[in-house]
Structure 1
Amino acid sequence: MKASKLKQLGIIDSQNVITLAAELCCNADNKVCMYRECMTCKNKSLTSLKNPSETGITWWYQWVTKKEEYEKEIEGEKEKIAVTKTVKQICEGNAQHLFEDLEKDLNGRVCKHLFNIKHQYAQLQSLHRTLRDDEVILHVDYAENWQCKYAKEVQQVHFGASHRQATLHNVVMYTSNNTLSFCTLSPSMKHDPAAIWAQLDPVLQFLKVNYPRVDKLFFISDGPTMQYRGKKNFYLMSIIPFQMGFRTVNWSFLEAGHGKGPADGVGATIKRTADTQVARGSDIPSAKTLYETLRTLTKVHLFYVEDDQISRVSALLPKELPTIKGTLSLHQVICTTPGTIYHRVLSCFCEREGVCGCFQPKAVDLAPQTVGSIEPQIIEGTSGRGPLCPLDEITEDLKGKWCIVIYENDPYPGIIEDVDEGAVEVKVMCSAGQNKFFWPLIEDKIWYTQDNVMTLISPPEKINSRHVQGKCN
């Protein structure tokens, strides 16, 4: 609106902020220029058609965020409640000051914002065009909760909490040769990281069954810090997909205010279909009824998630996680090793197998390491030839005992569940850093031959509500 007013006053020749940003930069496609770090153009000024100081006092519209207080009666007593509102208001001032404010805005955040929008869209379009058989893109987003309703209602239903709501979490999946839509319905009103991964779980299970070659996940979403762009989500993305057998997780965030995409269309389709059924006489009083009603009426793959499934995922979260500096400015998070993430200010996909050096990625260990390593404890029933030797024989009394097994050259602790000739069935834990293990959300229980059982150990020590560690040296 500042540019519009200056254009109206004849001080600048364009009100288009993209044109104005390009005027300030050597190259509008260069991050260094648009981030105002270029030594050549960082001090450039806008060209004015006439001297702004000659115009004098003027007015313009501007969006302003401000706090307001109002009184609310609570239990017979009046209390002051503070709220934050964003309003459009008229500002008055000197045209010279308006011109300077516009330049300050362009240099401070507008140029960076415009570059981020263009770069993120370009990178994600390039990823889509070059998607491989072992890769998948998952564009995810929450829809606004749908209010459950009856075909006919008495007046009292309109008041109070008579109407329940259903949460809709939408996913559009792109493989190298197909596009599929998903919607997970839930009665839970939670939209936090635990809810996100509980609602992603059936989608990822579908992916594992129907596209077994896929082992690289590329997520796309908007960037609300209480949902997708936060350390709790980063922790869960560094743990859960690896439990399910995926090798790489890559999450890219669209620039603020530009997160709308095909996932929003999925939610709109589900809501419109539900409203149509209500208009035709169907009652949909709950999220479960919504799922049962729509699952045969739409091509969108529907799943239903209960509250307890979200609670189970929430139990995976440690009480404390390290703070990730610059969370609001990052646009990509990559995980190739459980418990460790890399983040950077912009997305880049020039290296699919690992993490390229573009835009200076920074590593964060979300599963703090502990000093030492697992030291097997030789107990009755094991060989006496040393601490790291295979079992001499497989017997029934091994059931229920702890052991260390070797899987893909790495050791994992677990409990022996069953025995057979020359093999044991072991329920194993997942690694969350050096000498730190936890029980996976999806039970990992398979048969190991006798030569893959290193030895028996004493039960590991519990270090918090979720993790255990072996005895340290």
Structure 2
Amino acid sequence: MNYTLVRQREVQQGFFSQHQVTLFTIHLTIGKEQRNLAIISDYMEHTTVFVHCEQKVLTQFIKKNFPLVKKINYVSDGACAHFKNNASILNLIHHKIDFDLDACWTFTATGHGKGAGDGIGAVLKFSARRATLSKNILISNPKDFYEFTQKQQLETARRSNKDIPGVHAFFLESDEIEEAKNFEQQVHYKEFELSMNSNRSAIQRFNIV
């Protein structure tokens, strides 16, 4: 999901040059424990590579806080742009190699109501919009949005006498995603080339026989 940055006292021209923030939310359930994660980025494309980078952040969080976890079950809708496609399934096949954790994926019906992840995004976007318009807080770029979210969640947890924030915020640079995109394209091309070569060899053997 995206969030459009606004200012309380912006000039009229500001309406035509609004900037956005990419917000990827995760509701994590491990036994009776539950955690909420929000990965904020200045990368505007919702692609499989973007999701793969999000998985890296998620697996690092799980390994740090829940070291006994051995397998992840991803549950999402069937959005074909970044979830339910051949590249995503290829990444799932290599999940153990990439993140040292087994994984499976459960796809739910697309467009059938909102889930916990949507609620996390709604809370963060509402908090930012309310602070921007009522307290004259300036949030002009994705990094500002991340810093505001992290500070606001920590303050809320402290006022509630809790050890952990309600939402763990992370920031993902667009440069990191572009680097992963180039690397993944090279890997996929090599795998495709090897697959084609093996198919040619199989056809040749079949013709010889």
Output the TM-score relative to the length of structure 1.
0.37
Q: Secondary structure at the match of 2:79?
A: coil
Q: Letter of the 1:158 partner, please give it.
A: F
Per-residue deviation, residues 130-151 of structure 1 (Å, max 9, x unmatched): xxxxxxxxxxxxx2x1011222
Shift of 1:199: 2.1
Structure 1 or 2: more helix by fraction: 2
Tell me, in whole angstroms, the C-alpha distance in 2 between the residues paired with 1:241 and 1:152.
Answer: 50
Measured after TM superposition, the shift of residue 320 of structure 1 is 8.2
How far, CA to CA, are the matches of 1:151 and 1:241 in structure 2?
47
- 1:184 alignment partner in structure 2: 39
- Deviation of 1:238 after TM superposition, in Å, equals 2.0
Structure 1 residue matching 2:137: 3-state secondary structure? coil
The separation in 2 between residues aligned to 1:251 and 1:193, in whole angstroms, is: 14
- Counterpart of 2:170 (choices 292, 297, 303) is 303
Contact 1:148 1:285 in 2 (8 A): yes
Q: Paired residue for 2:122, among 268, 272, 275?
A: 268
Name structure 2 gaps, 5 residues minimum: 154-165, 199-209
Query: How is 1:185-264 mapped onto 2 (pairs within 5 angstroms)?
Result: 185-246=40-101, 248-258=102-112, 260-264=114-118
Residues in 2 aligned to 1:206 and 1:261: alpha-carbon distance in whole angstroms: 21
CA-CA distance at 1:237 after TM superposition: 2.1
Identity fraction in percent: 25
Counterpart Cα distance in 2 of 1:369 and 1:172: 39
CA distance in 1, matches of 2:45, 2:96: 21
Paired with 2:180 and 2:151, the residues of 1 have a C-alpha distance of 29
Q: In the aligned structure 2, how far is the partner of 1:290 from the partner of 1:200?
A: 21
- The answer to which structure has the higher strand fraction is 1
Q: 2:40 is paired with a residue of what secondary structure?
A: strand
Contact 2:73-2:106 within 8 A present in 1 as well: yes
Say whether the 8 Å CA contact 1:219–1:251 is kept in structure 2: yes
Higher normalized contact order (CA 8 Å, seq sep 6+, divided by chain length): 2
Alignment partners' CA distance in 1, 2:179 and 2:106? 26
Partners of 1:302 and 1:186 lie apart in 2 by 11
Separation in 1, partners of 2:36, 2:18: 27
In the other structure, the counterpart of 1:399 is none
Query: What letter is aligned with 1:272?
Result: F
TM-score (normalised: structure 2): 0.80
Partner of 1:16: none
- Residues 77, 109 of structure 2: 8 Å contact kept: yes
Task: State the distance in 2 between where 1:180 and 1:164 align.
Answer: 29
Which residue identity is paired with 1:304?
F
- How far residue 258 of structure 1 moved from its aligned partner, in angstroms, is 1.8
Q: Give the letter for the 1:171 counterpart.
A: I
Aligned CA distance change for structure 1 residues 211 and 199 (closer, same or farther; 3 Å): same
**Equivalent of 1:368 in 187, 195, 198:** 195
Partner Cα separation in structure 2 for residue 275 and residue 226 of structure 1: 28
Structure 1 residues 281 and 214, CA, compared in 2 at 3 Å: closer, same or farther?
same
| Secondary structure in structure 2 of the residue aligned to 1:217 | strand
Confirm or deny: 8 A CA contact 2:36 2:120 kept in the other structure: yes
The 8 Å contact of residues 29 and 35 in structure 2, kept in 1 or not, is answered as yes
2:180 to 313, 334, 340: 313
Count of aligned positions: 182
Q: Post-superposition shift, 1:153? A: 0.5
What aligned pairs does 1:55-454 form with structure 2 within 5 A after superposition?
143=1, 145-159=2-16, 162-246=17-101, 248-258=102-112, 260-279=114-133, 280-298=135-153, 299-314=166-181, 315-317=183-185, 318-319=188-189, 368=195
Hey, what does 1:346 align to over in structure 2?
none
One-letter code of the match for 2:179?
Answer: R
Q: Secondary structure at the match of 2:23?
A: strand
Cα distance between partner residues in 1 of 2:54 and 2:112: 23
Deviation for aligned residue 1:290 = 0.2
